[in-house]
Amino acid sequence: MRPLLYTVLSVILIFPAPPLAAQTEAELDAIAAALEDQVIAWRRDFHEHPELGNREFRTAGIVADHLESLGMEVTTGVAHTGVVGILHGGRPGPTILLRADMDGLPVEERNDLPFRSTATAEYNGETVPVMHACGHDTHVAILMGVAEAMAAMRDELPGTVKFVFQPAEEGPPEGERGGAELMREEGVLTAPDVDAAFALHIAAEVEVGTITYRPGPAMASVQDYRIVVKGRQAHGAAPWMSVDPIVTSAQIVLGLQTIVARNLNITELPAIVTVGKFSAGVRSNIIPEEAELVGTIRTFSAEQRDFVHRRIREIAENVAASAGAEVEVTIPLTSDYPVTYNDPELTEKAVASIARVAGADKVTEVSLETGAEDFSFFAEEVPSFYYFLGGKPVDAPPTSHHTPEFVIDESGLSLGVKTMLAVALDYLRGDTPITEDR
C-alpha cells in the first residue's frame, strides 16, 4: 500500500502549487483512495482485537511501529499506553495536534461480522467481554492513514504535526488515572507548544458520507456520582424496626428527577441527571443496612454544573435525614470531564475546509450533544475543533454506541481521512482553503 500512496503523491507534487503541501479536492480524493484498503484493514484488525483503557498494549505497539516506519519522533508509554508521533515539516509553520482514542469497552459483540470480537479482559476485578462499541478502532485507523499521507509530504509541509493516540478515553480502571487529562499533565501540549488541536468521532446515527459539528459548547461536561444511604438492618417481617435504605434511596431517586424538571431553565441549556445503578440487599426477607446509587451528570456550563451538584447533595441529605438515615455523597466518583468546546473562529475555518472536500450539502451544524468526550481537556488549553463523521449505512436504522449491536459503514472511513487532511493542511497553510482553480 505505501508504494501506491507515494506514487500518487509524487505525481501530485509535480504540478505547480503554492509553497505548501495543501491539496485540492481531486488530489485529496486520490490520496484517500490510495489509503482506503489499508485503513479498512487496520480498522478490522483493531476491531477484532480490542483492548480496554490503560491496557491498549497491542494497539499501541502497532501504532508506534507504523509511526516509526514513517520516520517520526515517537514516544510511547504516555499516560500509561499512549503514543505520540511528531512529524517535523520541511518549512516553518505552526504546531497542530491530531488525536485518536484507542480503547474499547466491556461490551459483548453481537453480530455476524467476520472480524467480530471474541476478546475478554479483566475489568475492575471481573472477566468481561471487550468490544470496540464506540468506534475508536476507526479513529486509530483513520489517523494512521493521515499520518502516512502527511509523512509523504514532509518536505513541503509547513510546521509540525503531533499525532496523538490516546488511551482510556472511556475512563481508566478504578484506582488508576489516564486519558487526555493525564496526557496533558505529561506535556503532550508542549515541546513544541500546540497552536490548535483537531479530532473526529465516528457517529453510528449519522448517515455515511456526511459530517456534523457545532461551534462553541458542543458536548457536555460529565461527572459521575455515588450516593450511599446507611440505615438500620431488620427482618423483612418487622420493617418498623428498620431504617430502610431502599425506600429512602427510592425517594432520593424521585427527588433527583426534579432537578432538571423543576430547578433548571432547560430552554437555555439542557442538563441530565441519571441514576444508572441502584443496588441493595442480599435476600428477600432482610431489609439491608445500606443501599447505593450511582449515576451520571451532564451539563453545559460551570454554573449549571455547580448548581446541579449542590442540588444532588441537598436532596440526598435532606431525604435521608427525614428518614433517620445517614448518607454519603461523592461527586465526582471517577469521571470529571469539562465541556467539549469548539473554538468558534477555528470551527469556521475548519468547516470551510471540510465542506470543500465533502460537499457543503453534506456538512450540517447540529444541536448540543449530551455525550461527553475527554478531548475537552485539550480544548480547555488550546483552540480546538471536534467533529462527527457519519457511519450509519444508507437505508439502515442507526445503532447505538456502547451496545452489542453497534456497527458502522466502513465506506465512510475514506471521508474521515480526507477531511482530517484538509483541516490539518489548510490550517498549516494559514489562509483560505485551496480550490480547484489554483
Give 107-130 pLDDT, tens digit per residue.
Answer: 999 999 999 999 999 998 999 999
Within this chain, domains 2-219+339-429 and 221-336 share the same CATH topology: no
Domain layout of the chain by residue ranges: 2-219+339-429, 221-336
Whole-angstrom distance, CA of residue 16 vs CA of residue 212: 33
Side-chain half-sphere exposure of 311, counting CA atoms within 13 A: 21
Q: What is the architecture of the domain spanning 2-219+339-429?
A: 3-Layer(aba) Sandwich (3.40)
Q: What is the pLDDT of residue 6?
A: 53
Confidence of residue 335 (pLDDT cuts 50, 70, 90): confident
Confidence of residue 5 (pLDDT cuts 50, 70, 90): low
Give Cα 414 to chain centroid, integer Å: 19
Q: Which of 137, 119, 368, 153 is nearest to 268 (CA)?
A: 368
Q: 100 and 199 in contact (C-beta within 8 Å)? A: yes
DSSP H helices, 153-188, are 179-185
Q: What is the pLDDT of residue 174?
A: 85
Whole-angstrom distance, CA of residue 95 vs CA of residue 101: 20
Q: What is the pLDDT of residue 24?
A: 82
Confidence of residue 9 (pLDDT cuts 50, 70, 90): low
Q: What is the pLDDT of residue 7?
A: 52
User: Mean pLDDT over residues 288-294, rounded?
Assistant: 98
Q: 171 and 373 in contact (C-beta within 8 Å)? A: no
Confidence of residue 19 (pLDDT cuts 50, 70, 90): very low
Return mean pLDDT, the chain.
Answer: 93
Amino acid letter, residue 30: A
Q: Which residues are known catalytic residues? A: 337, 410
Give 25-57 pLDDT, tens digit per residue.
Answer: 899 999 999 999 999 999 999 999 999 999 999
Q: Report the 10 Å Cβ neighbour count for 392.
A: 22
User: Mean pLDDT over residues 135-140, rounded?
Assistant: 98
User: Mean pLDDT over residues 418-422, rounded?
Assistant: 98
Side-chain half-sphere exposure of 349, counting CA atoms within 13 A: 20
Q: What is the architecture of the domain spanning 221-336?
A: 2-Layer Sandwich (3.30)
- The least confident of 12-16, 119-123, 186-190, 265-269 is 12-16
Model pTM? 0.90
In the predicted structure, residue 103 carries a pLDDT above the cut 50: yes
